[in-house]
A and B are shown apart, each in its own frame.
Chain A
Amino acid sequence: MRSRRRAFATFFFLRPRLALLALIAPPLLWLGVVYLGSLFSLLVQSLFHLDGFTGRVVRRVSLATYGDLFTRANMDIVVRTATMAAAVTVATALLAFPPAYYMARYAPPKIKAALALGILLPLWSSYLVRVYSWKLILAREGVVSWFVERARLTWLLDALLGLPGIGGPSLSVSAIGTFLAFVYVWLPYMILPVAAALERVPPSLLEASSDLGARPAQTFRRVTLPLAFPGLVAGSIFTFSLTLGDYITPQYVANSQFIGNVVYESQGVANNIPFAAAFSVVPIGIMAI
């Protein structure tokens, strides 16, 4: 028994490439067949179209469905979603940097662990619950309105909600509310990669910059920020693509439709799978750009 196990181990020790292949074959198969396969099937579906009379899917390759995409209303949805995703990405990046910097540079190990846990903890609760609680927080009778009233700032809130484009009857049904909920739910995905990137910056680099005459702001711009850039990019990809594809937040905390809603309704309510597929290709296209 023992010798057979040894022979097994020796077999792979002498053939490192085979060992590597054995290790990566299962995930490679998963990625190749299940993930890329379904993506391909999505693309194929988007090339079919729905017969308006029978409500059946016509399995013939054409660009008819993509033609439906380029209506005024649909393009508005695309622009709105992309703008929201960009705004959320910028806001989370700005908000994430200070805590990430503190975690990476100053926090002693115990506090660092507590902070990481604190950042991850909300992810353990259902996403739906968190978004729904934002609806309640931001509602006209919610805690934000109550606080604003107490602070005698209702005029400010009303002015904010009166703004065209981002306003609405209350925070929970305005673009401002959607933005706040998105920033909240995606913030961890920005903090963690930025903190990881900052942690890899040796403190001596910051000392060297200071030693060579750079004030803290100069050190930040010329050394810290460029070295944290990979983390910011990783975090931005998360927040941007998650906002782009989400349909739950816009369903509860919004007054207008986003790409995700349209996809959800096309395939769930209208049963127009080709249109849902075509609209799903839009975020992929945006991300590719």
Chain B
Amino acid sequence: MAGETLTPVVRLVSVSRRFGDVRAVDDVSLDILDGEFFSLLGPSGSGKTTCLRLIAGFDRPTSGRIELHGVPAERLPPYERDVNTVFQDYALFPHMTVGQNVAYGLVIRKVPRAERERRVAEMLDLVRLPGVAARRPAQLSGGQRQRVALARALVNRPRVLLLDEPLGALDLKLRQQMQIELKAIQERLGITFVHVTHDQEEALAMSDRLAVFREGRVEQVGPPAEVYERPATPFVADFVGISNLVEGAAAAALTGSPAPFTVRPEKIRILDPGSPAPEGSCSARGRIREVVYLGSHTRYTVALDPGALLTVVEPNRDATAQDAQAARGRDVVLAWPRARNRPVGPAR
């Protein structure tokens, strides 16, 4: 999908947005390709939403350039940009029915009534909400309002859809279901989705590529697998999934070099003390400090003798909650393939 055409549909070049002394977005450059599902991932206050607002045109950059479809856009008002937004609070017009909400963009564009009605019905079908057109937004559930907001943003057939934490207010089950549906809708329509989220699982599940934000800057851009398996910085390693950062003396004891590296908790195996570590692995003795039983798996915190605290996740294939709890305080050996170590740059 991403490789067919290499036209960036959204291009940010050295974009900054300052609010007084605060650099909400600090020298960000991004190319978002036609037809890809692109996520802006980061903790709250990292500049991802400001970035989205700059693309939508609700805010203007302090410096830098924004191009939409190859045309400079930083001076265009939102109503002249071929992008539409799904708002975090949905922003449905309370004084209109669901049908009027979805039709709004078409009414503004003076689309004839018959076509308008056809397209509204088509959109409500697409988001699987047929037959609610006559209702008011206040009469719908959160998940339904979310779908209406999606239909309203898609009815203008934009080439880029911006989504500002669209699933943030939904409960876990509904969120997972909507992740799949959003992705399916994106693939069916073939348009670009730019999706803001602080939920790394959501970003990994849905995106073709993602950008990890921290304090207004982009730390890493890449496909989910690459960002997860080869985090560029300790921050990315820590924010995307759980990660163990090993540095200094502990790193030297395990690999022979003090260069910092990270290793994912699910790559590490817990062995009985004295058992031999497999060929080509890092291993060290330690003691289990904390045990958190999570149903499908258990999270252990292990203090290694060379002086590092590692998190280890093991699936509970045979182990019961009692078994897991009983492991607290036990002496163990941790081992993982040396190839799973990911060198990271120094923390900035």
Which A residues lie at the B interface, using CB under 8 A? 202, 204-205, 207-215, 218, 222-223, 226-227
Contacts and interface: CB of A to CB of B under 8 A. Distances in A.
Contact of A204 (B57, B79, B91, B156): B91
Interface stretch (B101-109, B221-229, B313-321): B101-109
B108 A218 contact: yes
Interface of B: 56-58, 77-79, 83-85, 87-89, 91-95, 104-105, 108-109, 152-153, 156
A204 B108 contact: no
B93 A223 contact: yes
A223 B83 CA distance: 20
B105 A213 contact: yes
Contacts of A223: 93
A211 B104 contact: no
B79 A211 contact: yes
Given A207-B87, A211-B83, 7 more contacts: A207-B85, A207-B91, A208-B87, A208-B92, A209-B93, A211-B79, A212-B104
A227 B93 CA distance: 9
Residue of B57, B95, B156 ringed by the most chain A CB atoms within 10 A: B95
Contact of A207 (B58, B108, B152, B153): B58
A205 B91 contact: yes
B116 to A, nearest CB: 13
A214 B58 CA distance: 13
8 contacts: A202-B89, A207-B91, A211-B56, A211-B153, A213-B108, A214-B104, A222-B104, A223-B93
Contacts of A212: 79, 84, 104-105, 108, 152-153, 156
Q: Which applies to chain B's interface (DSSP): helix, strand, loop or mixed?
A: loop
Contacts of A207: 56, 58, 78, 85, 87, 91
B95 A211 contact: no
A209 to B, nearest CB: 7
Contact of A210 (B77, B92, B93): B77
A239 to B, nearest CB: 24
A66 to B, nearest CB: 42
A213 B109 contact: yes
Contact of A208 (B57, B83, B85): B85
Contacts of B77: 210
B157 to A, nearest CB: 12
A218 B79 CA distance: 11
A227 B94 contact: yes
Contacts of A202: 89, 91
A223 B58 CA distance: 17
A208 B79 contact: no
A89 B31 CA distance: 55
Q: Which 7 A-B pairs have the closest CB atoms?
A: A212-B105, A204-B91, A208-B91, A210-B78, A213-B108, A226-B95, A211-B85
A211 B152 CA distance: 11
B110 to A, nearest CB: 10
B51 to A, nearest CB: 15
B95 A214 contact: no
A204 B108 CA distance: 18
A34 to B, nearest CB: 38
A209 B105 CA distance: 8
Contacts of A211: 56-58, 78-79, 83-85, 153
Given A215-B79, A226-B95, A209 B104 contact: yes
Nearest to B155: A212
A210 B76 CA distance: 12
